[in-house]
Amino acid sequence: MTLHPVNSGNFKLDGGAMFGVVPKSIWNRTNPADENNMCNWAMRCLLVESGNRLILIDNGIGDKQDAKFFSYYFLNGDDTLEKTVNKAGFSFDDITDVFLTHLHFDHCGGSIKYADSSRTKLTTTFKNATYWSNAQHWKWATEPNPREKASFMKENIMPIQESGQLKFIEKEGEFIPGMDLLFTYGHTDAMMLPVLSYKDRKILYTADLIPSVGHLPLPYVMGYDVRPLETLKEKERILTKAAQEDWLLFFEHDAVNEMCSLEMTEKGARKKESGSFNHFL
């Protein structure tokens, strides 16, 4: 197995929404906000090269929304998903599997694109890939509650099913050799977190359970989470195991730190060291 971090670009979200009940005077130390209270976040994906399969974990926000939509999120940086996939030595047509941790727009928006310049027909971005979700989360996303409705955009989701490229994962456990899955239910229903065995280390792709180094303390839970108390329990269970077994965390949204190692302290699991993927591996 070979891993390739690929960044689909950065965007901005309100710092208060990202840290929930934690006061700005505290979270602003690790994630400084701009004059509009917005913090910068990555949309970092991961390519997993294993045998004859090339698996893309999540795919960012995409580029098919209108200017008004993008004006809310202040896209920035030079990276695009296609550019960073190409830099890793691949094209979109090489991708055999698209693994979607969950179906919020900043994780699955790149799944679908316009078929041509007329922008009238949608098609899958990865024409040779199987798209993976799970039945419980798919139902949750396609029959959304009012709280999450704006994050589950039909144009990102329904064309996957209509393409015939969609398959469902049935349970936790092994997805492929060296890639196991954990299901979590606090951020959204049945989000799937990959745990990868790589170079004698375990790597947790944290998705939205732990968006950044700044979210390691248990009470630092996003205002977006539908079951924040469940997120607390999931973070405690997973971070304790990760610290005890010396896992590395791979952050989807931390604009500065790709990864970190952990240590147990009297306050729970905390950052031991942070840095780039290449720094650790």
Tokens 């990102």 sit on residue: 156
For the stretch 118-155, what's the b/e string if a residue is b when 16 or more beta carbons lie within 10 angstroms of its beta carbon?
A: eeeebebbbeebbbbbbeebbebbeebeeebeebbbee
| Closest among 102, 110, 135 to 205, alpha carbons compared | 102
Q: Radius of gyration of the chain from Cα atoms?
A: 18
| pLDDT band of 158, cuts 50, 70, 90 | very high
Q: Phi, psi (5° rounding) for residue 13?
A: -135, 155
Give the chain's mean pLDDT.
Answer: 97
If you average pLDDT over residues 225-252, what whole number do you get? 98
Give the contacts of 212 (CB within 8 A, at least 6 positions apart). Answer: 30, 31, 41, 251, 253, 254, 255, 257
- Decide: 111 and 62 in contact? Cβ < 8 Å: yes
State pLDDT tens for residues 33-72.
Answer: 999 999 999 999 999 999 999 999 999 999 999 999 999 9
Q: 115-124, 197-206, 229-238: lowest mean pLDDT where?
A: 115-124
Retrieve residue 257's tokens. 């730190």
Overall pTM surpassing 0.75 (yes/no): yes
CB-based contacts of 138, cutoff 8 Å, min separation 6: 103, 168
Q: What is the pLDDT of residue 67?
A: 92
Angle at 18 (CA atoms; ends 13, 172), nearest 5 degrees: 110
Helix (H) or strand (E) holding 43, with range, is: strand 38-50
C-alpha span between 43 and 201 (Å, rounded): 23
φ/ψ bin of 74: left (φ > 0), alpha (ψ from -120 to 50), beta (otherwise): left
Distance (Å, rounded) from C-alpha 157 to C-alpha 85?
Answer: 22
3-class SS of residue 145: coil
Q: What is the mean pLDDT of residues 111-123?
A: 92
Backbone angles phi, psi at 232, to 5 degrees: -55, -45
Q: Under CATH, what is the fold of the domain 2-280?
A: Metallo-beta-lactamase; Chain A (3.60.15)
pLDDT at residue number 118:
85
pLDDT of residue 117: 85
The number of residues in the chain equals 281
